[in-house]
Chain A
Amino acid sequence: MGVPEGITPQMSEEPVASDADLVRSVLDGEAGAFTLLVDRHAAACLRFAARMLGTREDAEDATQEALMRAYRALPTFDPRTSFRTWLFSILVNRCRTSLLRTSRRERRIRLESDAVERAYVESQANALELQVEISRALMTLPSELKEAFLLKHLEQLEYEQMAEVTGLGVSALKMRVRRACARLRRELEELHHAR
């Protein structure tokens, strides 16, 4: 049995507070409880935003905005629902806004080594090359397909959760994931053979 969602495994025998417990604590005046929520979820948010937006800078901005909005909107969070899903619905919205802003200026796919380093580097040369290929392939996807693909295969959300996050119907989401996988596969095969 895996660890329930929203719980950080601990080595000690202290009871682990759920996300809903931590939200309750924040609303009761314990500001430090939100720091625990940040530490639990920020990395996943940052990773999703980085894959979605392409640069660390944009990812950090979107994640920061999402966490601040979540903090301010905590009184509206329903403890019967998943905090992670709720947070991601805010984050997805922030990413969409960010993409709208960047689509107004010309966006080029930057593959210079410093851009890759700024994104998410830390590997041997082969893995780095694969990373560049994947970044490039991902960048060719329309944003709505990329979003669905990342929520499904990166965040591993169920379709019902994805529907909650994106506002779309389940069948529309399945169609988008299917199309994203098909396009990514084609792109990766082309890039792979072009090596």
Chain B
Amino acid sequence: MRVDGLLEKAIAQLQTPVPVRASWRAALLREIAAAPPPRREEPRAFVRRVRWTLHPTVAIAAAVACLAVGLASGVLLSRTRAASSADASSSAELTTVRFVIDAPSARQVSLVGDFNRWDASANPMRPSQDGQSWIIEVPLSRGRHTYAFVVDGDVLRDPSAPTLVDDDFGVRNSIIFVGDGRT
């Protein structure tokens, strides 16, 4: 950007150093000295070493019991969740949305977005009967979602949908608003 004479002078003036007052510096260093020293963070561990005196056999038995209870709860929970996913189109919370992209010469297309953690293996699309496009139906929660297609390894936005302005990684995404059962 061209900066002309008047602006140049202004910039030069603005670049005049602002003296650091000794008293200010001293006060800052005192405050730093009084603060707890920052320490490198330990790698996050879900299991911490605890000094327990417990016979290994007792420990293992207790663990097996806990795991059995946990597994039972987990199976129940995932069944409940699966039921609500399968019934998505009639659920008040999820709406089935159909995504279509024209890609007649593609070998592999998948849908990625904030609803599947941008995982290209999570939602593979199927080719249409005439082979001209690729299709998938996905249950989405109400609200705003960003997405894209992965076509033979390339991430592409949806040419028929509004584009998100953020282009942090060079390729813009598409955006969809899921309303009350309508998109």
Contacts and interface: CB of A to CB of B under 8 A. Distances in A.
A42 B31 contact: no
A192 interface: yes
28 contacts: A27-B39, A31-B32, A31-B37, A35-B32, A38-B29, A43-B20, A47-B17, A64-B24, A64-B27, A67-B32, A68-B28, A68-B31, A75-B41, A76-B41, A120-B16, A122-B16, A127-B13, A131-B16, A150-B14, A153-B3, A153-B11, A154-B14, A169-B165, A181-B1, A181-B7, A184-B7, A185-B4, A188-B10
Given A43-B18, A181-B3, A169 B167 contact: yes
Given A68-B32, A178-B1, A185 B6 contact: yes
Nearest to A67: B28
B46 to A, nearest CB: 20
Contact of B10 (A26, A137, A177): A137
A56 interface: yes
A189 B10 CA distance: 11
Contacts of B24: 60, 64
Contacts of A134: 10, 13-14
A64 B20 CA distance: 11
A192 B40 CA distance: 54
A131 B11 CA distance: 10
A121 B27 CA distance: 23
A64 B7 contact: no
Contacts of A94: none
Interface residues of A, number: 46
B166 interface: yes
A62 interface: no
Given A38-B28, A59-B18, A150-B14, A27 B167 contact: no
A26 B4 CA distance: 44
A117 B17 CA distance: 14
Given A38-B28, A75-B38, A150-B14, A177 B1 contact: yes
Contacts of A122: 16
A79 B131 CA distance: 50
Contact of A34 (B21, B32, B39, B41): B32
Contacts of B40: 27-28, 75
B68 interface: no
B39 to A, nearest CB: 7
A165 interface: no
A54 B131 CA distance: 65
Contacts of B15: 47, 154
Interface in A14-33: 26-29, 31
A51 B25 contact: no
Nearest to B4: A185
Interface in A125-153: 127, 130-131, 134, 137-138, 150, 153
Given A64-B28, A169-B167, 7 more contacts: A38-B25, A120-B16, A127-B13, A150-B14, A169-B165, A184-B10, A188-B6
A108 interface: no
A75 B39 contact: yes
Contacts of B144: none
Interface string A177-195: 1100100110011001000
B14 A51 contact: yes
A68 B25 CA distance: 12
B9 interface: yes
A127 B12 CA distance: 11
Contacts of A137: 10
